[in-house]
Amino acid sequence: MDLQSINPFNLEKFKSYPEMSPIEIQRILEESQFAFESWRRTDFVERTELFRKIASLLKSDADDYAFLITQEMGKLLSEAKAEVLKCATVCEYYATHSENFLKDQMVSEKSFVSFQPLGVILGIMPWNFPFWQVLRFATPTLMAGNTVILKHASNVSGSALAIEKLFIEAGFPKNVFRTILVSSQSMESVIINPIVKGISLTGSTEAGKSVASLAGQHLKKCVLELGGSDPYIICEDADLNLAVDICFKTRLLNSGQSCISGKRFIVHKSLYEQFKSLFKQKMQNLETGDPLLPSTTLAPLASLKFRDQLHTQVLQAIDAGAKLVLGGDYPLARGAFYNPTILENISTHNPAYVQEFFGPVACLYTFEKIEEAIEIANGTPFGLGAGILTSNSIVGEKIAKEEIQAGSCFVNSFVRSSPELPFGGMKQSGYGRELSSFGIYEFVNIKTVSIA
């Protein structure tokens, strides 16, 4: 079966890639294992130089990589370029800090903790940030001395191969980073293969459950970054214009196709009508069109399938009593576009109350007491990110730290991942952490060494 690349803007099939056979995949796994035996013995000077070269290539070729991303999954060209440049920052971060993170930690005169690589690590990555998700996982994993096998989403196979080529151009030893082209339905044999020593997956909660189940049966370490329905609490004393601006930007990032974008906006009753009016105005002013053009401010979704799934969710929410403030449909013109949509009056019995909307759909809630807002914020199975908007940063910090059930909570800004901050979720948003020192420790053996 071929893996198809379809441009979400014009729906043209512009590339197909033959799926690899089980024999090919086994050969790649064995080659990666062989490469690990030498790669794990390289010093940090060599690894650092190679990742600085990766960063340099990402910067110099950012326009070409951005065009490929936009062609394959449809995001705005400006966002695609920003994604590529962000990948350079994570390479530079770990090039600078990995040696210090992984140096032996002395416990006593004759006892210390050492960090040793595990072997071949499998990354199962999504289409919504086709370069960032991969480099975010692969950089600390490789800097720790592991080798990496990438199974990317089928619709961004071109990006997967481009990343493999990037490692070759940077001068990495052969087979340290490899891409396999295979459908999700054929992944079970790869996950359970004894060569694979750990799995990092970014994707849906259902995909996470499936992978974790398989990995658990074979006692393999997993890191899971799954779905999110991030709440933003807009307090009575919040700067209204700032709040609207932050909520709008977080909701429309990548056309709303981001796990950590704000999706539920919980607004104090005294500000609700003003917030709704200003937010609606911003949503109405979006311009759909060719994501390659600077004039376009709302790109298509990644496929017609995803658009139709989103539309079904919106219709179900309305049928269950939600009020439609804006949108709720899609243009008939060619392309996987969905019109900016706002829903309100969403009861706890509405399926929308606990769902993730992966697209330009915002859900509005109102509250009078902060305890109500916290209850709504925590009232979903997800726990990835959250935001608090208030002029009292002390109160905002207390709520963020002590009350919100999420892996990240930002006060007076929107949640974003950054190399120096650990990233991940709780509840059905997954477990484990990426980035910072915590990310590099996920796929190492934390070994106690004691000398009598």
Distance (Å) of CA 358 to CA 8, 66, 115, 340, 364: 15, 22, 38, 12, 16
Taking the C-alpha atoms of residue 262 and residue 250, their distance in angstroms, rounded to an integer, is 5
Sheet of 120-125, strand order: 177-180, 147-152, 120-125, 196-202, 221-225, 430-431
Tokens 């829903």, residue located = 343
Distance (Å) of CA 127 to CA 70, 86, 205, 338: 11, 16, 15, 18
Among candidate residues 91, 235, 259, 363, the one labeled active-site is 259
**What 3-state DSSP class applies to 330?**
coil
Taking the C-alpha atoms of residue 348 and residue 208, their distance in angstroms, rounded to an integer, is 25
**Half-sphere exposure at residue 283, Cβ-oriented, CA atoms within 13 angstroms:** 29
Q: Are 425 and 383 in contact (CB under 8 A)?
A: yes
259 is catalytic: yes
First to last CA, the chain: 59
Q: How far is CA 22 from the centre of its chain?
A: 28
Taking the C-alpha atoms of residue 287 and residue 306, their distance in angstroms, rounded to an integer, is 20
Strands 408-411 and 385-389, by their bridges, are parallel
Strands 147-152 and 177-180, by their bridges, are parallel
Other CB atoms closer than 10 Å to residue 84's CB: what's the count? 22
Sheet of 111-117, strand order: 105-108, 111-117, 444-450
Q: Are 355 and 381 in contact (CB under 8 A)?
A: no
87 is catalytic: no
Among candidate residues 72, 92, 225, 403, the one labeled active-site is 225
Instruction: List the catalytic residues.
Output: 225, 259
